[in-house]
Amino acid sequence: MSAFEGYWDAVDAELAQLPPQPVRDLVPRRCTADFTGYEVRLTSLGPYRIFGYLSVPTGPGPYPAVLTTPRYGSVNNPPHYNDRLRYVTLVIAHRGQRTADSSYAAAYPGLLTDGIADPDRYVYRGIVADCLRAAEYLTALPEVDTSRVAVAGDDLAVLTAARRPLFAALQVAGAPLFRGADQPDADYPAAEFGDHLRAHPQDADAVRRTLALFDPERHAPAVTAAARVEIPGEGGPLSALAEALDAQRYAPTHHGQADNDAADAWLAGRLGAAAMSRFSRMAG
Amino acid sequence: MTQVNVYRPDDFDDFWDSTLKQVAKVPLRPSFEYVEERSTDDVAVYDVHYDSWAGVRISGWYAVPRAAGPHPALMLVPGYISEPVIPRSWAKKGYAAFAVAPRGKLRSNQPYNPGYPGLLVDNIVDPNTYGYRGFYVDAVRAVDAVLTRPEVDPARVGLHGSSQGGALTITTAALMPDVVTCGAAGAPYLCGFMESARLTHSYPYEEINEYLRDHPDHEQRVAQSVGYYDGINFAPNIEAPMLVYIGLEDDVCPPETGFAVHDAMKCEKELLTYERCGHDAGNHWAMEKVEAFLAGHLGVAQ
């Protein structure tokens, strides 16, 4: 077994030892005639309690479902209204983000390099586990049609799809988090890697070894979902990732709503739902 | 296109004059702590703290060229859910750049921490205790803090941000007409609160819809309260030149409200609109114009 496989098998084994102990609380203000909103809490690696916004459409179901992996930042919005109408939706907050910051509060900047010199102490080992736990939870819900589940996000979505082959669709957008160390002139958050290495130049090899474990391109062969990758510009790590995933490539037009609509339509098509634009003067 | 009508309280100006007079009694107590790990050969980075409304200690990141000043100040005001990023890239362009974290953001959340979602509706029925009262003041006090730096030219103060940052650009320019030199506001949020909540189901405005689900009888109280906080009501008080840029299909901050706030400005102004763009506000094309606008008004070579 390679070090790569051993590392991730150990994460799976540790997680399997921890019952998720889910708690699901109704949130009346996020309920309408069309959907019901909840806040959920689950146990992940550590053990550590993580948080999620769950929404379930009204009706007999089962429904297609979408797991949104956390963005890089302290806050994740609850699922969008349009998505709640069509899907069982779960947006989680990983350890350190608001609503999951007891007892660990992430620093921005700082999260991306927290413990990075030791892969067993790197904070993203736990964060990936948080996403895996969320995938297990969502796909076990009775309201979910397990043949129509998608995961959407950045690198974390790729790693989740790779480690849990439960998904029909994988949608990847955003800058590649774990390839930031390859971009010395990048702005934050990727600049965190450069800051760390300026302060701790002796860590260079260790950082490279840790990040290799999280490289989405290395995880891509294990992904079974149909994938779509947004690739701004030619070449670069996202292009290589798309190739490794055998993904549909999407070149953003930079007309943001047009790009959002294209992403929505792809996902809806994969999950057997109707496409919906978030910009509509029919809202009310 | 929908008309955006905003209630403007008769005592709007008095409310904010009184607010600024009250906070002026709070000593600023600015501290600028050099951060070696985040600094580079050409940019020095400081971890900043100062006191603001109700004595809450506010944080921010200050990045300044190592080259001798004076430098123009560029205030970078944050979006709703984002944390301020260390503005090293702006400092490299020649600005004394300050990215503020108003109350409730991560390093400014003691003792005030309404959460996200949460801030938009925190005490929203009461203008005197609404969370945004201190939040708007925090952006004003950030300007006061940066002007304590000897390398900053007080005659050149710019504001820039998008979404909530666009809103704070507008409110700060209006509250400091004698100080602010120019402002560039993308996709301005906090303009036409009630109409926005009717036009979209996207967050953050969806927080108002959720609040009204819980409190359906509060709609009029909310509308009256947010009148004190609406960017459209601040806009006529701005004297500095302003650049506003919006996406014509913005689901987060409806374009109708961007037109309305631009219409309400009496200052020198320009509006950039982008077809098929959403909350990105045409960022891909607009940023070149924003940089030229700021550089032109603040005297930075491009």
Q: What is the mean pLDDT of residues A266-273?
A: 98
A-chain residues within 8 Å CB-CB of B90? Answer: none
Question: Chain A within 8 Å of B10 (Cβ-Cβ)?
Answer: no
State the pLDDT at residue A111.
97
In CATH, which of 3.30.2320.30, 3.30.200.210, 3.40.50.1820, 3.40.50.300 is domain B12-109+133-188+230-298? 3.40.50.1820
Asked if B250's CB is within 8 angstroms of A257's CB, the reply is yes
- What was the pLDDT predicted at A282? 54
Q: How far is CA B86 from CA A110, B28, B186, in A?
A: 11, 22, 19
The model's pLDDT over A160-179, given as tens digits with 9 standing for 90+, comes to 999 999 999 999 998 788 87
Residue B263 designated active-site: no
For residue B117, say if its preceding peptide bond is cis, omega within 30 degrees of 0. Answer: yes
Name the residue facing B89 among A187, A196, A260 (closest C-beta): A187
Q: CA-to-CA distance for B232 and B56, rounded, in angstroms?
A: 27
pLDDT number for residue B1: 75
- CB–CB of B85 and A254 under 8 A? no
Q: Which two tokens stand for residue B242?
A: 């302003």
CA distance B107 to chain A (A): 9
Q: Nearest CA of chain A to the CA of B14: how many Å?
A: 35
Distance CA A203, CA A207 (A): 6
Residue A77: list chain B partners with CB under 8 A.
Answer: 81, 116-117, 203
Residue to test with chain A: of B36, B43, B93, B116, most A Cβ within 10 A = B116
Which of A254, A255, A264 is best to mutate for the B interface (most B CBs within 10 A)? A255
Q: What is the pLDDT of residue A236?
A: 82
* Cβ-based contacts of A80 with chain B (< 8 Å): 201-203
Q: Check if B160 is active-site.
A: no
If one compares A187 and B152, the residue with the highest pLDDT of the two is B152
- Kindly report the nearest CA distance between residue A7 and chain B, in angstroms: 30
Identify which of A29, A188, A195 has the shortest CB distance to residue B214: A29
> Which band of pLDDT confidence, cut at 50, 70 and 90, is reported for residue A284?
very low
Residue of B101, B92, B99 lying closest to B46 (CA atoms): B99
Is the pLDDT assigned to residue B53 strictly greater than 90?
Answer: yes
Tokens (6 digits) for B202: 């996207």
What three-state secondary structure class fits B4? Answer: coil
Sorted by sequence, the CB contacts under 8 Å of residue B185 that are 6+ apart come out as B159, B160, B161, B162, B165, B166, B167, B169, B170, B242, B243, B244, B245
Residue B207 has pLDDT above 50, yes or no: yes
Q: What is the pLDDT of residue A283?
A: 41
Contact B280 A199 (CB under 8 A): no
% of chain A at pLDDT higher than 70: 99
- Pairing outcome for strands A226-230 and A144-153: unpaired
Q: Which residues of A touch B (CB under 8 A)?
A: 28-32, 73-78, 80-82, 98-99, 105, 107-109, 187-188, 191, 195-196, 198-199, 253-258, 260, 277-281, 283-284
Question: Looking at residue A132, what is its pLDDT?
Answer: 98
**ipTM of the modeled complex:** 0.95
Q: What mean pLDDT, rounded, does chain A reach?
A: 95
Q: Is B279 a catalytic residue?
A: yes
CB contact under 8 A, B250 and A29: no
Per-residue pLDDT, averaged over B227-253, amounts to 98
Chain segment A47-98, per-residue pLDDT in tens? 999 999 999 999 999 999 999 999 999 999 999 999 999 999 999 999 999 9
Cβ A90 vs Cβ A150: under 8 Å: no
What are the tokens at A49? Answer: 């309690």
State both tokens at B103.
């109350």
Given an 8 Å threshold on Cβ–Cβ distance, is B81 in contact with A198? no
| pLDDT (0 to 100) of residue B124 | 98
Encode pLDDT of A22-53 as tens digits.
999 999 999 999 999 999 999 999 999 999 99
Q: Is B201 on the interface with A (CB under 8 A)?
A: yes
Token duo for residue A261: 């609509």
Catalytic residue among B52, B108, B163, B196: B163
Interface test with A, best of B3, B39, B86 (most A CBs within 10 A): B86
Q: Residues A42, A134: contact at Cβ < 8 Å? A: yes
Q: How far is CA B183 from the centre of its chain?
A: 10
For residue B194, the distance in angstroms to the closest alpha carbon of chain A comes to 12
Could you tell me the two tokens for A37? 């909103």
3-state secondary structure chain A: CCHHHHHHHHHHHHHHCCCCCCEEEECHHHCCCCEEEEEEEEEECCCEEEEEEEEEECCCCCEEEEEECCCCCCCCCCCCHHHHHHCEEEEEECCECCCCCCCCECCCCCHHHCCCCCCCCCHHHHHHHHHHHHHHHHHCCCCEEEEEEEEEECHHHHHHHHHCCCCCEEEECCCCHHHHHHCCCCCCCCHHHHHHHHHCHHHHHHHHHHHHHHCHHHHHHHCCCEEEEECCCCCHHHHHHHHHHCCEEECCCCCHHHHHHHHHHHHHHHHCCCCCCCCCCCCC
Residue A96: what pLDDT? 98
Long-range Cβ contacts of B111-117 (<8 Å, 24+ apart): B111/B56, B112/B54, B112/B56, B115/A98, B115/A99, B116/A74, B116/A75, B116/A77, B116/A98, B116/B80, B116/B81, B116/B204, B117/A77, B117/A78, B117/B203, B117/B204, B117/B206, B117/B207, B117/B210
- CATH architecture, domain defined by A3-271: 3-Layer(aba) Sandwich (3.40)
Amino acid at the residue B205: Y
Nearest chain A CA: its distance from B119 CA (Å): 12
For residue B294, the distance in angstroms to the closest alpha carbon of chain A comes to: 20
Domain boundaries, chain B: 12-109+133-188+230-298
Find the closest chain B residue to A187 by CA distance.
B89
Q: What are the structural domain ranges in chain A?
A: 3-271
Residue B220 near residue B155, CB atoms below 8 Å: no
Residues of chain A in contact with residue B198, where contact means CB-CB under 8 angstroms, are 283-284
Token look-up 């004394």 returns B96
B38/A257 Cβ within 8 A: no
B161-180 exposure pattern, b = at least 16 Cβ within 10 A, e = fewer: bbbbbbbbbbbbbbbbeebb
Average pLDDT over residues B116-143: 98
Q: What angle, 0 to 180 degrees and rounded to 10, lies between the N-to-C axes of helices A191-199 and A204-214? A: 150
Q: How confident is the model at residue B91 (pLDDT cuts 50, 70, 90)?
A: very high
Query: CA B128, CA A194: separation in Å to the nearest integer?
Result: 45
The answer to whether the Cβ–Cβ distance between B276 and A77 falls below 8 Å is no
